[in-house]
Amino acid sequence: EKTQVASFLDHTVEPYTEIAASQGKKLVLAPVPEFVVTLDQNLIHQLMNILIDNAMKYSPQGSTITVSAKPLGRKWQLVVADQGIGIKSADRQRIFDRFYRVDSSRSRKTGGNGLGLSIANWIVSLHHGTIVAKENQPHGTQFVTTLPVTPNSSLGSRREKKG
Ligand code: ATP
């Protein structure tokens, strides 16, 4: 559906700010310019859920997680950046595979089965977009999602198979 990105992100991010605060972390939504895109709100909500959840799981107390969005011509970009443990460059593609977790996460006692990012990747490809993990400065990870402003297929008909 047609979506005002600024208010959609407001609503999506808001509930997590309290959860982050309860863990001693700060979740910030950077000022988002006014622009309208077409997306499946449930799915992009789910995407945000996965990325913010991971950002909180893999970053220490006292750190800040920043969500930002901006239009880029016929595309737009959604970024979730953390100041956490980071992801080695060798792992930065494989984390989107089903069940893949980096060594340090496999041994963690707390949650995770390695499905989150494969679902994120699926949601993004349904929107004909891309998602990549990049190094954040001075440390941590940035998940950069690039989506078309108007995906030119019906998002409702989830027929496509990829991979
Ligand atoms: P879940 O399925 O519950 O999300 P998960 O976090 O292990 O479990 P994914 O979300 O698919 O699974 O993430 C895959 C792996 O990528 C994680 O196990 C972790 O090693 C790494 N990872 C994901 N997000 C981050 C992040 N923000 N910082 C550092 N490592 C991350």
pLDDT greater at residue 83 or residue 160: 83
Query: Measured in angstroms, how far is the CA atom of residue 117 from the centroid of ligand 1?
Result: 7
Reported as a single tens digit per residue, the pLDDT across 39-83 is: 999 999 999 999 999 999 999 999 999 999 999 999 999 999 999
Rounded to an integer, the average pLDDT of 125-131 is 97
C-alpha to C-alpha distance for 124 and 45, rounded to whole angstroms: 12
Closest C-alpha to 79, from 87, 88, 70? 70
Reported as a single tens digit per residue, the pLDDT across 90-99 is: 999 999 988 8
Name the H helices within the chain: 5-22, 41-57, 103-106, 116-126
Spatial CB neighbours of 41, under 8 Å, sequence gap ≥ 6: 1, 3, 8
Q: Using a 6 Å cutoff on CB, does residue 82 contact ligand 1?
A: yes
Atom 4, ligand 1: residue with shortest CA distance: 116
Q: Using a 6 Å cutoff on CB, does residue 122 contact ligand 1?
A: no
ipTM here: 0.94
Q: Using a 6 Å cutoff on CB, does residue 129 contact ligand 1?
A: no
